[in-house]
Structure 1
């Protein structure tokens, strides 16, 4: 499966601002955005988003809904602030918490991305349910003493 990044450097800078992006990524004190640091954080945040979406949506998504760009930027900002000299403000924390809440709601189906969800192959939506079966009808036994015979 191809990994998709839900936001790029330009989208992050547009939302956060160039000055704060420099503060969040400039580990060498060069006064510029470190694209490698930012791209890695965006990829990490995108992977986190995929973890929530995978049960409900076929990945990678064909198009990226705008709310995933925002969520990716908010998660990335928090991630970078926790690894830099930038103070984690109440706003950064609140946006991070709201992002996680929204991802949980997407995963549970309480809100939708507005795109088709996974199907089970018959065209029916996949609801994320998992069923376990026990072909030998064993109940807590390593040998066949609890096996039911159907003769």
Structure 2
């Protein structure tokens, strides 16, 4: 299952800008109007999903289904950054793109480090890996007493 769709990307990037970011053909006045290159969009989403999975692997069962909205938003921001960064003339990325990319990476690190949880789809907390604790009654016989037998 995809973590984000073209419709999700269109909420973050206007369609005209998205067409420009995905169109690799040279500017020709006689050429037809540029169209969205779906293969480039798919590659941006794939790379973003792989990065998200790399951070979440070992902590959650992958792929996530249904996709939590926080993961969808992170994936959109990562894909958007990749689309802007792939342009050769795009040396200076927009500040908003850079900020949201860094924020997405920080959120992934927080999820990985168990400081932030995406929870289970049912709203229950996902079991955390690590130490288990149990309550028991106090010992009736000490180790010293048992050693004497």
Which structure has the bigger radius of gyration?
A: 2
The correspondence for 2:118, drawn from 106, 113, 121, is: 113
Single out whichever of 21-30 and 40-49 deviates more from structure 2: 21-30
SS at match of 2:129: coil
Change (3 A) 1:12 1:127: farther
CA distance in 1, matches of 2:72, 2:3: 5
2:102 corresponds to 1:97: yes
The correspondence for 1:52, drawn from 50, 55, 58, is: 55
The correspondence for 1:16, drawn from 13, 19, 36, is: 13
SS at match of 1:33: coil
CA distance in 2, matches of 1:79, 1:56: 25
CA distance in 1, matches of 2:130, 2:103: 24
Single out whichever of 23-32 and 4-13 deviates more from structure 2: 23-32
2:43 corresponds to 1:28: no
CA distance in 1, matches of 2:7, 2:46: 14
Report the TM-score, using the length of structure 2 for normalisation.
0.72
The runs of 5 or more residues in structure 1 that have no matched partner are 120-124, 129-151
Contact 1:56 1:127 in 2 (8 A): no
Report the TM-score, using the length of structure 1 for normalisation.
0.72
- 1:77 maps to which residue? 80
Instruction: Using the TM superposition, give the Cα deviation of residue 14 of structure 1 relative to its aligned residue in structure 2, in angstroms.
Output: 2.1
CA distance in 2, matches of 1:7, 1:36: 15
The runs of 5 or more residues in structure 2 that have no matched partner are 27-32, 132-149
CA distance in 1, matches of 2:38, 2:71: 20
